[in-house]
Amino acid sequence: MGFDLYGENPKLVKLLSDEKSERYEELSAMSYSDREKQDLNDEYWELQTEWENNNPGSYFRNNVWWWRPLWSFTCDHCADFLTEDDMNGGCYNDSYIITEDKAVAIAKRLKEALEEPETQVYLDNHMKAMEKAKKHNEMIEQEKKALDEIAVAITGNKDVAPIDYPKDLKKKFDELMDKRDWASSYPISRENIEHFAEFAEQSGGFSIC
């Protein structure tokens, strides 16, 4: 699962060559399955990627793990002009639209934030917290493996799933999973913030899908 952002009226920085543009339009008019039957999807994705790289305001994507901290960072720095609806709109794949004036303001604010020393401190601390959480979860995983071995020994089923553990082991398993630190799964980076800021600046407003 991820978040796909589409520019509403993106600035066109660099067009494809006439030949590539014609080919891209031709492939875009075909369905995925029709392209797949003719082994054309790789060519289509290659042209699409070139278009998006040339025109960064057209499209931006993060998987859910990268998007959550990026959007949280954005909301924290833009709380004076993003409404509650705007902020909530960035949490769902409901095609919520951020207007052009707000998109430009987001880009400006994020670029300013990246110039502040406090931002690097925040990013460094975030990564340290991630590493700490990863080490914690490694210990949780070792305890989980020990429970797995006990469950297999008791049931005689080497493929036994936690849902089928004996009642006391299932309780221990659930308690163990509750101790997992999900901070290990949500990265943030300067590069991702920069990429998003560039997209927002050139998007002409964007929808969050």
DSSP 129-164: HHHHHHHHHHHHHHHHHHHHHHHHHHH--TT--GGG
DSSP category for residue 99: -
Cβ-contact 103, 205 below 8 angstroms: yes
The token pair at 98 is 């951020």
CB atoms within 10 A of CB 109: 19
The token pair at 177 is 């999973």
Question: How does strand 59-63 pair with strand 206-208?
Answer: unpaired
pLDDT the model gives residue 208: 98
| Dihedral sign, Cα of residue 146, residue 147, residue 152, residue 157 | negative
pLDDT the model gives residue 77: 98
pLDDT the model gives residue 69: 97
The phi and psi torsions of 6 (rounded to 5 degrees) equal -120, 130
Q: For residue 74, with 0-12 CB atoms within 10 Å meaning exposed, 13-18 middle and 19 or more buried, which class applies? A: buried
What is the model's pTM?
0.83
Amino acid at 190: R
Kindly give the confidence (pLDDT) of every residue in the chain, 209 residues in length, as a single tens digit, with 9 standing for 90 and above.
Answer: 899 999 999 998 777 777 877 787 777 788 888 898 888 888 788 878 877 888 899 999 999 999 999 999 999 999 999 999 999 999 999 999 999 999 999 999 999 999 999 999 999 999 999 999 999 999 999 999 998 999 899 999 999 999 999 999 899 999 999 999 999 999 999 999 999 999 999 999 999 99
Q: From CA 169, how far away is CA 162, in angstroms rounded? A: 8
Neighbouring residues of 145: CB distance < 8 A, sequence distance ≥ 6: none
Domain boundaries, the chain: 1-7+61-205
Q: From CA 145, how far away is CA 158, in angstroms rounded? A: 12
pLDDT the model gives residue 15: 75
Q: For residue 193, with 0-12 CB atoms within 10 Å meaning exposed, 13-18 middle and 19 or more buried, which class applies? A: buried
